[in-house]
Amino acid sequence: MTETREPVIEARDLHFRAGASHILRGVDLIVEPGEVVALLGANGSGKSTLVKTLVGINPPTQGTVRLLGEPLTAGRRTTVDRSRIGYVPQRANAGGGIPSTAQEVVASGLLHGRRLALPRGWRDRVAAALTQVGLADRVHDPVHLLSGGQQQRILIARALVREPDLLILDEPVAGVDVASQEAFATTMRRLVDGGLTVLVVLHELGELEPLVTRAVVLGHGKVVHDGTPPQARRDHDRAGHRHQHPHADDNTLGEQARALDLEVRP
């Protein structure tokens, strides 16, 4: 093994067009090992599109992506080791239309690429992942009977069950109650201390603020800020002044509708 520490994510001049819309317009993003990068920006600025491009769901119309030092090339079998990458999509519905248990949904995180059978010991790994999100006692519960926040934690467990080196999360705490957000932040702290690299789309920094090492802000499909997280700067600049939070529900329905739409698009 070489000692050179390559970027975990290296995106160069990424463009993504869908029909007439030019959604990503030249994004450069480098994430180094151990960083926790928050991806921020207004609704519709292209955050979900960017993370989908990074994980290979949206092949870029221009530009290149390297993950874990390997190129992600559309239409060809990639040498990227997908088992080292966990992805938590923006929440639509963890269970889909068919009742699945928490165990089944989390176990599906162990299937990737050419792995079509669950590995030996999968039940223990699923139990460990559910424990990490505080849902060990729900292993046999149908996910559609769980609360929205619990379903979100199931999706996080599905990503964590791989024991990834890179975790990409799209609004993981949207619609999740404060206690669960705190528990999530604690879990993330432990994983980051263990060497995990994180790219997380957030509506606001919230409970994850102490963990975030850098903020990248998108505006109209371009990076408009890359550096100090805005919240930290705000505390420094005007301590004591109450921050104006955007309303938590100003995007939820539209975002979810869009997420659903994107899930069914061929």
Residues that bind Mg ion (CB under 5 A): 47-48
C-beta closer to Mg ion: residue 145 or 257:
257
Among 49, 132, 150, 180, binds ligand ADP (CB under 6 A): 49
- Are 79 and 32 in contact by the 8 Å Cβ rule? The answer is no
Residue 9-48 contact track with ligand ADP, rule CB under 6 A, x = bound: ---------xx-x-x-----------------x-xxxxxx
Query: Least Å distance between CB 210 and Mg ion?
Result: 24
Q: Which ranges constitute the DSSP H helices of 220-251?
A: 230-237
Token code pair at residue 197: 């690299």
Query: 21 or 62: whose CB is closer to ligand ADP?
Result: 21
Pick what 187 binds: ligand ADP, Mg ion, none; C-beta below 5 to 8 Å, kind-dependent.
Answer: none
Q: Closer to ligand ADP at the Cβ: 195 or 266? A: 266
* From Mg ion, ligand ADP, none, interface partner of 18 (C-beta below 5 to 8 A by class): ligand ADP
In the chain, which residue ranges form alpha helices assigned H by DSSP? 47-55, 102-107, 122-132, 148-160, 178-193, 230-237, 252-264
What's the min distance (Å) between Cβ of 23 and ligand ADP? 4
Is the Cα torsion angle 245, 250, 256, 258 positive or negative in sign? Answer: negative
Pick the binder of ligand ADP from 15, 25, 225, 258 (CB under 6 A).
258
30-33 long-range contacts, CB within 8 A, separation 24+ = 31/7, 31/197, 31/199, 32/5, 32/7, 32/8, 32/197, 33/5, 33/7, 33/8, 33/195, 33/197
Nearest distance in Å: CB 138, ligand ADP: 29
Cα pseudo-dihedral 168, 93, 142, 109, rounded to 10: -30
Residue list 94-133, contact with ligand ADP (CB under 6 A): none
The site partner of 46 among ligand ADP, Mg ion, none (C-beta below 5 to 8 Å per kind) is ligand ADP
Report the residue number, 48 or 197, with the smaller CB distance to Mg ion. 48
For Mg ion, which residue has the nearest CB? 48
Tokens in use for 68?
């874990």
Tell me whether residue 27 or residue 105 sits nearer to ligand ADP (CB atom): 27
Query: What's the start-to-end Cα distance of the chain, in Å?
Result: 40
To which H or E segment does residue 41 belong? strand 36-41
Token match 């505080």: residue? 134
Cβ closest to ligand ADP, residue 162 vs residue 203: 203
Size of the site for ligand ADP (CB under 6 A): 15
User: What residues are paired with 9 via a beta bridge?
Assistant: 31, 67
Which residue, 19 or 97, is less far from ligand ADP as judged by CB?
Answer: 19
Least Å distance between CB 168 and ligand ADP? 13
The full length of the chain comes to 266
Task: Summarize as ranges the residues that interact with ligand ADP (CB under 6 A).
Answer: 18-19, 21, 23, 41, 43-49, 258, 262, 265
